[in-house]
Amino acid sequence: MESIYNLIPREEIKPPKQERHQSQFRSTVKNETKTNKSPNKTMGPAKVQVNPPGEYLTKRSKEPQLPEKTDFRYSDADKSRPPVPRHTEKPLMGIKSNKDFVKTNAVENIMSVPKKPAANFVDTAKGSTQPLEPSGLMPVYTKKREFGKVPNYLQQRNSEVKRAQEEYDAYIKEYYRQGAMKHLTGTERNSILDGLKKNWQEIHHQYQGLSVVTDTPPKKARKERMEAEMKQLERDIELLEKHKTIYIAH
């Protein structure tokens, strides 16, 4: 909605400006900037210490000063040495021997055993050698004293097993002698094995004739019963075939 009062010019109201931020270290920075400035960067120092007039440079004043010259003497000059023997004196040559060292050395070299070369292996193309024994490439364990022998704990265990078997055999013989157990002969054992295998074959033949679909409880029960009988017969056959000596209690 327009109004006539909108045509009157109004005074523009400017928003107040925020205060300018000033660092709290401003005065410190100003002082450091003024104090660390060097006024003699190009013209040299403002004040130079000058030597007094009497201390001026003279000729050869900066040359090094050498110590005074002295006569040279050897450090062992004071040691006493024996005099040189004369041409008429005969020096002592030690104990005289008639041994022929040339023949002795020749015989020793002929009778000596040749030195065995060290076992080394080459690990680079340039031929650098390394000792073979600590490298792990040589079977060092074969040189041990215990190599190829049965350990002590195995010998002890074998002796304990043998003693236990002997005690068990003695107990069985004594029990068999008293008539409490009957020894099964080889013929009886074979006949029992044949009978078990025959029974297993008959049950297996009947099992093969069962229906594939076991949709009724009687079919399922018959199948489970035949499977259990065949497993029991297999265990009995395995037991008889594993043990040749069989005892039967009365």
**Total tally of structural domains belonging to the chain:** 2
Q: How many CA atoms lie within 13 A of 135 on its CB side?
A: 12
> CB-based contacts of 181: which residues, under 8 Å, 6+ apart?
172, 175, 247, 248, 249, 250
| Pairing mode, strands 129-131 and 120-122 | antiparallel
Residue 174 lies in a domain: yes
Residue 106 lies in a domain: no
First to last CA, the chain: 130
Give the separation between CA 87 and CA 90, rounded to whole angstroms: 8
Owning domain of residue 131: 122-178
Residue 164 lies in a domain: yes
Residues 151 and 188 in one domain: no
Q: Which H/E stretch holds residue 227?
A: helix 217-242
Residues 151 and 192 in one domain: no
Percentage of the chain modeled with pLDDT above 90: 16
Residue 182 φ then ψ, to 5°: -120, 130
pLDDT tier at 157, thresholds 50, 70, 90: very high
Give the separation between CA 118 and CA 243, rounded to whole angstroms: 58
Residue 117 lies in a domain: no
Give the separation between CA 242 and CA 245, rounded to whole angstroms: 9
Residue 194 lies in a domain: yes
pLDDT in tens, 133-152: 888 788 888 888 888 888 88
**DSSP notation for 170-210:** HHHHHHHHTTSEEEEPHHHHHHHHHHHHHHHHHHHHHHHTS
Q: Which of 140, 157, 178 is the last residue of a domain?
A: 178
Q: Which of 178, 208, 225 is the last residue of a domain?
A: 178
Residue 248 φ then ψ, to 5°: -120, 125
Range in 98-102, 170-174, 190-194, 203-207 with the lowest mean pLDDT: 170-174
Residue 138 lies in a domain: yes
pLDDT tier at 156, thresholds 50, 70, 90: very high
Q: How many CA atoms lie within 13 A of 210 on its CB side?
A: 20
Q: What is the mean pLDDT of residues 149-164?
A: 91
Residues 167 and 187 in one domain: no
Residues 153 and 198 in one domain: no
Residue 210 lies in a domain: yes
Residue 74 lies in a domain: no
Q: How many CA atoms lie within 13 A of 110 on its CB side?
A: 6
Residues 163 and 199 in one domain: no
